[in-house]
Structure 1
Amino acid sequence: MSTELAIDLFAGAGGFTTGAESAGIKVIWAANHWRLAVDCHADNHPDTFHSCQDLHQADWSAIPSHNILAASPCCQGHSRARGKDRPHHDLQRSTAWAVVSCAEYHREDVVVVENVPEFADWALYPCWADAMNRLGYAVSPHVVDAADHGVPQHRKRLFIVCTKSKTPLKLDLPQREHMPINNVIEWDYPKWSQIDKPGRSLATLRRIDAGRRQFGERFVAPYYGSGSGMTGRSIHRPIGTITTLDRWAIIDGDRMRMMQPPEIKTAMGFPAHYLLPATRREAIQMLGNAVCPPVAKDIFEAIRKTA
């Protein structure tokens, strides 16, 4: 990558930007349709020019020159955990075409797209990849687990690296030591509640009892769902995927509480000083949609070494 100036499409909370800047790349422009996310990004990246817009309608000629395009198109239409508003999520799949439109105009040296692994199962993914090929890009998908990059969370995401090389790049990514979620939990946080209290769901009590039998008095557990939601998981390993919902509970003896935004922020790999919305729900939603900055940093550094 010769000139390391980047833009960030669907920038959200700014995980891609934070990772790129950690790798020494200057992010000069970032856009998102959600005003609160744009404001959050601007608070943390004041030297970046920001735009709040629907990127389907973007005027790519108005964006300053750059060599790197980072993009995180909407994943909800591809994810297995799609929620209830499926027609709306289906429509969001089309956001991926904004990447093609931008690349057609700017012909960046490098395009990196992040999404859920199921993005590659999209019926139009072959057409999308072919469009990038026709623009002169070799398309190289990599499925990456954030836990392998020092983030205390198992979070598998697809990073599609598009370069003007003759063949697709095969990145030599580091395999960092897995970090336990115990390093993130603030055990002296004040807002705990008693597990055995009136109104507590019997299903929740059964899951907690199962977790105690397997992990002892301290562990984490999804507050709903199947899989590890039935038993929880050890605090001495990375947590499972953090979502946009208030999902993960911390169990400590006879008390419990949900993970708090500062803990989730650290579990996503954001620095401690990173600013978030004051509203809990919006902070968690923004974090659950974010790119883990350490993963983005390792991706860009690997591209620099390989390209």
Structure 2
Amino acid sequence: MTYTVTDLFAGAGGSSTGMVNTGLRVVIAANHSELAVRTHQVNHPETDHDLADISQVDFRRYPKTDFLWASPECTNHSIAKGKRRVTGQGDLFGTDEDDVAIRSRATMFDVPRALEAGVLRGRPYIGGVVENVVDATEWMYWDSWIRMFDAAGYHVRPVFLNSMHARDDRAVPAPQSRDRLYVVFWLKKLGRSPNLNITLPAWCPRCETAVDAVQSWRRPDRMYGKHRQQYDYACPNLRCRVVVEPAVRAAAEVIDWSELGSRIGDRTRPLAAATIARIEAGLRKFARPMLAPAGGTWNDGASPVDDPFRTRTTRETEGLACPPMLIPTESRAEPDRVASAFGPMRTQTARQDLALAVPAGFVMRNNTPRGGNEKAAGLCTPFNEPVRTITTAGHQSVVTMPGQHLLMAYYGNGTCTPVTRPVPTQPTGERFALVGGQVQVEDCTFRMLQPKEIAGAMAFPEGYILLGAKRDKVKLLGNAVTPPAAELLMRRLVDMVEAAA
């Protein structure tokens, strides 16, 4: 049986995309923005659309469906510029600086209105999800709003889920850290509840085994909030309960590494002082040269260069690498709010405010140069040129040169040798250390993340069409739901219904 759904969507329509992945049919989708509706139409042509101010909609004119998804306006529930907004009502005619004429998305109270319409016509929704920011729980009418679900005949459970953790045996999470509140509701008369206990694969260092990590609240009397602030994931073993880190996808998966941007020192328009400060903070935190296994080694992890070398073998080789960084560019961002590109991307807002910075470097082929060592430079290719042909042996390494690096000997009359020269004779013991110079900001490359990369970070499928200018596309994405979150939660509701049938 194919179940149907009404989607009061936000932004680019990721909720519909996720629900379609569960086998649901989105019968009607509604939004106040013409651009959002046209984007949704292009990607979901089988769905009927309503361009409307949801606060003015008579839900009796919408077709009957089994489920409801709603993403009410969230601006007035967010903490912005240091002030907490508690009214939660939204402005009927909108105050968004980018589009004053467009009215607000659905308010929170429009959800109980939709439920009431279903009950009065004798075909209530089986269940559904209301998505919003975590701070909505501090809305002044939160408790009253929750009681409305009970009055309409529904059980309700708030779920606090980060998009990078929206994973089960079918849903693939987004490589973005995006904390959201999902209020899941279902009819009391069903006599059962959906499984909303989301466990995640992780490694427990204490038990020394893979576990299904469970959500663990730091304050049992305050079970709402954000990952790593109000809750963690822990080993499910009651004798252990150590905090563990669930497996997540890296932002690096969706970044276009063929375009690294321009060298900061060569820019005609200098970066803002605050952006430079963030890059400097990121270089101090992330641009530590790493020794990375290469060339057919049994080692599977990198180590910082201020740790000792691993034991040398007759065939093991290691390359030197520095990680790229993701730099927030909005004026209010703190100087230390930088992240490695090899962790999840931070939450995407409706603005293009995230950039990629990469320490200067090059790609090196690990082959013997033809024509002797004087031709060795020909084996190196700058990042801004195409990579040479990849062979089956994978003889290419990424090398960064942040300042001057030296090899320093730890014995007798040992001297320092530039890394541009051959390594001196290796004795049987560990005798050489790598001494790194200061990474210079002007030698890094810099560019803003593009809409295609942002869409990938939110787990929109390849080829998802975004209409409008670049600024419009970023806004559509920043307002949207990540598809895996909608897929996971709605599948849990569908599984509950099918089990009850």
TM-score of the superposition, structure 1-length normalised? 0.91
CA drift of 1:102 comes to 0.8
CA deviation map 1:44-101 (0-9, x unaligned)? 00000001001111121211110100000011110113799x8998435971111111
Compute the displacement of 1:187 (Å). 1.6
For residue 28 of structure 2, give the secondary structure of its aligned residue in structure 1: strand
Q: Indicate the SS of the match to 1:95.
A: coil
Distance, in Å, in 2 between the alignment partners of 1:257 and 1:215 is 18
Report how many residues are paired: 303
Structure of greater Rg:
2
Does 1:64 find its partner at 2:63? yes
Unaligned runs of 5+ in 1: none
1:303 corresponds to: 493
1:226 aligns with 2:226: no
Q: CA deviation at 1:174?
A: 4.7
For residues 191-230 of structure 1, what are the structure 2 equivalents within 5 Å?
Answer: 192-196=261-265, 197=267, 199-216=270-287, 217=322, 218-224=324-330, 225-227=332-334, 229-230=335-336
Partner of 1:102: 114
Tell me the residue number matched to 2:251: 181
Listed as ranges, the matches of 1:24-173 within 5 Å are 24-81=23-80, 90-91=90-91, 95-106=107-118, 107-149=124-166, 150-165=173-188, 169=194, 171-173=196-198
Moved more, 56-65 or 89-98: 89-98
Greater mean alpha carbon deviation, residues 196-205 or residues 157-166 = 196-205
Once the two structures are superposed, the pairs formed by residues 258-277 of structure 1 within 5 Å of their partners are 258-277=448-467
Q: Match of 1:230, SS?
A: coil
Residues 148 and 81 (structure 1 numbering): CA distance in 2 closer, same or farther, change over 3 Å?
Answer: same
Query: Which is richer in strand?
Result: 2
Residue 203 of structure 1: CA displacement? 2.3
1: CA distance, partners of 2:152 / 2:132: 21
Q: 2:162 is aligned with what amino acid?
A: D
Asked if the contact 1:78–1:93 (Cα under 8 Å) also holds between the matched residues in 2, the reply is no
User: Distance in 2 between the 1:83 and 1:260 partners?
Assistant: 28
RMSD: 2.3
Structure 2 vs 1, CA of residues 272 and 286 (structure 1 numbering), >3 Å: closer, same or farther? Answer: same
Counterpart CA distance in 2 for 1:231 and 1:129 is: 35
Deviation at 1:126, TM superposition (A): 1.2
Distance 2:35 2:17 in 1: 17
Partner Cα distance (1:5, 1:293) in 2: 17
Q: 2:333 is aligned with what amino acid?
A: S
2:475 alignment partner AA: Q
Partner of 2:438: none
Contact 1:214–1:231, Cα closer than 8 Å, also in 2: no
Query: Residue 3 and residue 65 in structure 1: after superposition, are their counterparts in 2 closer, same or farther (change >3 A)?
Result: farther
Q: Deviation string for 1:133-155 (max 9, x for gaps)?
A: 10001111000000112211110
Could you tell me whether the CA contact under 8 Å between 1:162 and 1:168 is conserved in 2?
no
1:76–1:89 Cα contact (<8 Å) kept: no
2: CA distance, partners of 1:281 / 1:195: 23
Structure having the higher helix fraction is 1
Q: Of residues 321, 345, 364 in structure 2, which corresponds to 1:239?
A: 345
CA distance in 1, matches of 2:88, 2:258: 41
Give me the identity figure in percent.
34
The change in CA–CA distance for 1:94 and 1:6 in structure 2 (over 3 A counts) is: closer
Distance 1:35 1:132 in 2: 31
Distance 2:474 2:115 in 1: 31
CA distance in 2, matches of 1:174, 1:28: 31
Residues 77, 93 of structure 1: 8 Å contact kept: no
Structure 1 position 168, deviation (Å): 6.4
Give a deviation string over 1:270-304, Cα, whole Å, max 9, x none: 00111001400000001000000011101111223
Distance 2:355 2:89 in 1: 27
CA contact (8 A) 1:8 1:30 kept: yes
Amino acid paired to 1:210: A
Residues 141, 160 of structure 1: 8 Å contact kept: yes
Amino acid at match of 2:116: E
Choose 294-303 or 172-181, whichever is displaced more.
Answer: 172-181
CA distance in 2: counterparts of 1:93 and 1:292, whole angstroms = 18
- For residues 89 and 187 of structure 1, the distance between their equivalents in structure 2, rounded to whole angstroms, comes to 43
Aligned residue for 1:77, secondary structure, equals helix
Contact (CA 8 Å) 1:172, 1:302: kept in 2 or not?
Answer: no
